[in-house]
Amino acid sequence: VASDTRDRLIKATGRLLRSHGYAGTGLNQVTAEAKAPRGSMYFHFPGGKEELAAAALDRFADRVTQRLEERLASSSTVADAVAGYFDDVAAVLERRRFADGCAVGTVSLEASPTHDALADATRRALQTWTKLFADALEAEGRSPDEAHGLATVVVAAIEGSLVVAKGQRSVDPVVTIGDTLRPLLQPPNA
Amino acid sequence: VASDTRDRLIKATGRLLRSHGYAGTGLNQVTAEAKAPRGSMYFHFPGGKEELAAAALDRFADRVTQRLEERLASSSTVADAVAGYFDDVAAVLERRRFADGCAVGTVSLEASPTHDALADATRRALQTWTKLFADALEAEGRSPDEAHGLATVVVAAIEGSLVVAKGQRSVDPVVTIGDTLRPLLQPPNA
């Protein structure tokens, strides 16, 4: 049915954005991977590639938000949740031989400055993740300013860990960054 | 003369990689921006676009290394040098309206996993920068392990700050990250 096609287009685009970025994602490849007729793309996304990519970024961001919420809910401290998330990042990079990653991070660097709809999507994602960590850090007794500062560092460290790991084809930096940041995130009264 | 053309090709490619990434950098655009005849590209870079991009990454990395060395030499602590470098990053992003950035970071995310020559260049750059900070942190009295861990965080935080700033079209996160990391970098005996 039609909505399945839409869904497959969004999922295929998300996968391609994570490994090749926006400029490197071709519409022929999207429709081939989604097993969708070429015409279906413009039926579901009249705005073309940019509208489809923005929808894929929103979908990807929601999935990451859900995983972060699960990690925070199942960990006794934010420090534990962040450490666990760095483990997840390392596992995904190894399993996919560094061809996977964060669609939001890749698009932020190579396309969002020149594409308004993409910038709206990357901004929404980064603000949502930062607020999620900031709220959790405030709940541990930090001031709003301190919580926001640390949350910004956590999101930047996750994105930066993908850069240094993919750029060196090694997960060692991800583990090192997780371990080194841990003391910074210890709850104030622990 | 010929070496001028080679130089202009490398510089134009570096600029394009920083704003559009590897897939988004077209050879027509490179030769147009370099004011070089199309044939000169294959004369100087018989390996084509990937060889040219690897040379541009090496050139860009050398320039960043030089600036980091200058910052470290003119600052009384590594913490000051890093804070100064975050100020530089924020200034460049504002001046170029987020269209500038780090060629190594962008290519690491969208192209190095699938292009061996690019991965060699991004690895060299990231290892050089990490070692530069690690050596300076060791000179301040940290153990090699601690220095390496903190240096890895600094490089990832710089790269990650570009992601979150460009993705939100705001330099606020760069300033926040610089301020928040500062205590982590204070010399052990200060």
pLDDT digits (tens, 9 = 90+) for B107-126: 999 999 999 999 999 999 99
pTM to 2 decimal places: 0.96
CB-based contact, A113 to chain B, within 8 Å = yes
pLDDT of A129 reads 98
Token pair in block for residue B147 = 């220095």
Contact A109 B176 (CB under 8 A): no
B118 with B105: CB under 8 angstroms?
no
What dihedral angle (degrees, nearest 10) is formed by the CA atoms of A93, A121, A66, A141?
Answer: 100
Q: Look at residues B58, B95, B88 and name the one whose alpha carbon lies nearest to residue B74.
A: B88
C-alpha distance from B138 to closest chain A C-alpha (Å): 16
Q: In angstroms, rounded to a whole number, what is the distance separating the alpha carbons of residues A38 and A42? A: 8
pLDDT of B186 reads 92
Widest CA span of chain B, in angstroms?
59
Contact B123 A169 (CB under 8 A): yes
B100: Cα separation from own chain's centroid = 11
Nearest-by-Cβ selection for A160 from B101, B106, B163:
B163
pLDDT of A3 reads 79
pLDDT of B38 reads 85
Q: Nearest-CA residue of chain A relative to B108?
A: A167
CB-based contact, B142 to chain A, within 8 Å = no
Q: In angstroms, rounded to a whole number, what is the distance separating the alpha carbons of residues A113 and A115? A: 6
The predicted complex's ipTM stands at: 0.96
Burial of B189 (0-12, 13-18, 19+ CB in 10 A): exposed
Token pair in block for residue B102 = 């780090």
pLDDT of B190 reads 59
Percent of chain B past pLDDT 70, that is, above it, reads 98
User: What's the DSSP call for residue A26?
Assistant: -
C-alpha distance from B170 to closest chain A C-alpha (Å): 9
Quick check: B1 pLDDT over 60? no
Q: Nearest-CA residue of chain B relative to A128?
A: B168
Q: In angstroms, rounded to a whole number, what is the distance separating the alpha carbons of residues A73 and A27? A: 38
DSSP string, B135-159: HHHHHTT--HHHHHHHHHHHHHHHH
Token pair in block for residue A43 = 């039926």
Q: At B188, is the pLDDT very low, low, confident or very high (cuts 50, 70, 90)?
A: confident
Residues of chain A falling short of pLDDT 50: none
pLDDT of B189 reads 74
Q: Which of residues 37-76 of B touch A (CB under 8 A)?
A: none
Question: How much is the CA Rg of chain B, to the nearest whole Å?
Answer: 18
Q: In angstroms, rounded to a whole number, what is the distance separating the alpha carbons of residues A32 and A27? A: 8
Q: In angstroms, rounded to a whole number, what is the distance separating the alpha carbons of residues B82 and A153? A: 14
Q: Look at residues A21, A1, A175 and name the one whose alpha carbon lies nearest to residue A86.
A: A175
Nearest-by-Cβ selection for B109 from A101, A156, A169:
A101
| Residues of chain A with C-beta less than 8 angstroms from the C-beta of B159 | 159-160, 163-164
Contact A156 B164 (CB under 8 A): yes
Contact B152 A127 (CB under 8 A): no
Contact A161 B156 (CB under 8 A): yes
| Residues of chain A with C-beta less than 8 angstroms from the C-beta of B127 | 168
Residue entry with tokens 């400055």? A113
In tens, the pLDDT along B121-143 reads: 999 999 999 999 999 999 999 99
Contact A157 B159 (CB under 8 A): no
A61 with A130: CB under 8 angstroms?
no
How far is the CA of B64 from the CAs of A61, B107, B115, in angstroms? 32, 15, 22
User: What's the DSSP call for residue B102?
Assistant: -
Contact A114 B99 (CB under 8 A): yes
A12 with A23: CB under 8 angstroms?
no
pLDDT, mean over chain A: 95
B16 residue type, one letter: L
Token pair in block for residue B68 = 């980091």
CB-based contact, B157 to chain A, within 8 Å = yes
CB-based contact, B99 to chain A, within 8 Å = yes
CB atoms within 10 A of CB B141: 12
CB-based contact, A152 to chain B, within 8 Å = yes
pLDDT of A188 reads 85
Q: Find the mean pLDDT for residues B145-162.
A: 98
C-alpha distance from A188 to closest chain B C-alpha (Å): 15
In tens, the pLDDT along A57-82 reads: 999 999 999 999 999 999 999 999 99
DSSP string, B80-95: HHHHHHHHHHHHHHHH
Q: Nearest-CA residue of chain B relative to A106?
A: B109
C-alpha distance from B2 to closest chain A C-alpha (Å): 31
